[in-house]
């Protein structure tokens, strides 16, 4: 777990964000709420957007990419039913915000980003705020990250045309994968459970993410 001393839950704006946007929309998992209260979201957005950091919206982070709306981060995190001993793979590091939230809840997070500049700044920021249990990797996350597989949970934070088969292969039996699946403009957030007998897919709700670009995703 990250160093408790560096992160704090004293920010009023963050507490209001959790109350008005996340609890108000039905997120109840106390561990997820505490994790979000403890992560300084304002550090994960460019200085020009810092005053909007706790608003109910996605924000630009450079390279044409975004950090997801707070509710989506909370909802995807809650749906994963994380346990403290889990190892999680995230595809789409972006700012590193979702990885920081996950890191508060599990043993280790591997996160993969295709844009090296984002991966580097996310890694530096996570170290700066004292999150020590995230490994940032640069690569095509549609191929997963085989070196550290299998994973207890996998979260994809970009929209895919279909579920990349390497991610299912790298998920442990009994594991959960959450991924937005659909066309370029709108997707359905989908929860995939891997059983011995195969996978079970459960559509959750409509969402809109930037494109997952790669061998098993959209072409550039
Ligand atoms: N989770 C991020 C955060 O907390 O800031 C937000 C992710 S942003 C919505 C989607 C990210 O997925 C972008 O940074 C984009 O570059 C990345 N991405 C798109 N295709 C990818 C791929 N094949 N492998 C890894 N990252 C990818």
Q: Could you read off the pLDDT of 153-207 as tens digits, one per residue?
A: 999 999 999 999 999 999 999 999 999 999 999 999 999 999 999 999 999 999 9
Average pLDDT taken over every residue of the chain: 95
Cis preceding linkage at 193, omega within 30: no
26, exposed or middle or buried, with CB in 10 Å at 0-12, 13-18, 19+?
exposed
> Two tokens at 211?
């494109």
pLDDT at 11 (0 to 100): 82
> Two tokens at 11?
């920010």
pLDDT at 6 (0 to 100): 46
List alpha helices for 8-115, DSSP H.
Answer: 12-17, 30-38, 70-79, 97-103
- 59-62 and 198-207: which strand pairing? unpaired
Q: How confident is the model at residue 138 (pLDDT cuts 50, 70, 90)?
A: very high
Nearest CA to ligand 1 atom 11: 92
pLDDT digits 0-9 by tens, 28-81? 999 999 999 999 999 999 999 999 999 999 999 999 999 999 999 999 999 999
Cβ(210) to ligand 1 under 6 A? yes
194, exposed or middle or buried, with CB in 10 Å at 0-12, 13-18, 19+?
buried
List alpha helices for the chain, DSSP H.
Answer: 12-17, 30-38, 70-79, 97-103, 116-128, 165-169
| Nearest-angstrom CA–CA distance, 29 and 77 | 10
Among the listed residues 203, 132, 196, 195, the one whose alpha carbon sits nearest the alpha carbon of residue 163 = 203
Cβ atoms of residues 63 and 118 within 8 Å: yes
pLDDT at 41 (0 to 100): 96
Cβ atoms of residues 66 and 44 within 8 Å: no
Q: Residues of 69-86 as b/e, b for ≥16 C-beta within 10 angstroms?
A: bbbbbbbbbbbbebeeeb
Longest dimension (CA), the chain: 50
Residue 114 has pLDDT above 50, yes or no: yes
Decide if 48 is catalytic. no
Atom of ligand 1 nearest to the CA of 101: 4
Nearest CA to ligand 1 atom 27: 92
pTM to 2 decimals?
Answer: 0.95
Among the listed residues 74, 73, 79, 112, the one whose alpha carbon sits nearest the alpha carbon of residue 94 = 112
Atom of ligand 1 nearest to the CA of 215: 23
Ligand 1 geometric centre to CA of 197 (Å)? 31
pLDDT at 10 (0 to 100): 57
């Amino acid at each position: 777990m990250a160093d408790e001393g560096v992160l704090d839950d004293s920010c009023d704006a963050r507490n209001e964000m959790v109350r008005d946007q996340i609890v108000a929309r039905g997120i109840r998992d106390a561990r997820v709420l505490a994790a979000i209260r403890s992560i300084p979201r304002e550090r994960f957005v460019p200085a020009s957007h810092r005053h909007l950091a706790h608003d109910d919206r996605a924000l630009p982070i450079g390279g044409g990419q975004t950090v997801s709306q707070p509710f989506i981060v909370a909802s995807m995190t809650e749906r994963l039913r994380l346990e403290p001993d889990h190892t999680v793979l995230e595809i789409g590091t972006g700012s590193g915000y979702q990885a920081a939230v996950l890191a508060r809840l599990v043993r280790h997070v591997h996160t993969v980003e295709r844009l090296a500049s984002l991966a580097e700044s996310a890694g530096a920021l996570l170290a700066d705020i004292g999150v020590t249990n995230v490994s940032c990797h640069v690569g095509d996350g549609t191929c997963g990250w085989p070196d550290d597989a299998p994973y207890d949970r996998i979260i994809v934070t970009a929209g895919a045309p279909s579920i990349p088969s390497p991610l299912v292969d790298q998920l442990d039996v009994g594991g959960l994968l959450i991924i937005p699946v659909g066309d370029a403009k709108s997707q359905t957030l989908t929860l995939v459970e891997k059983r011995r007998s195969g996978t079970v897919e459960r559509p959750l709700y409509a969402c809109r993410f930037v494109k997952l670009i790669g061998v098993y995703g959209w072409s550039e």
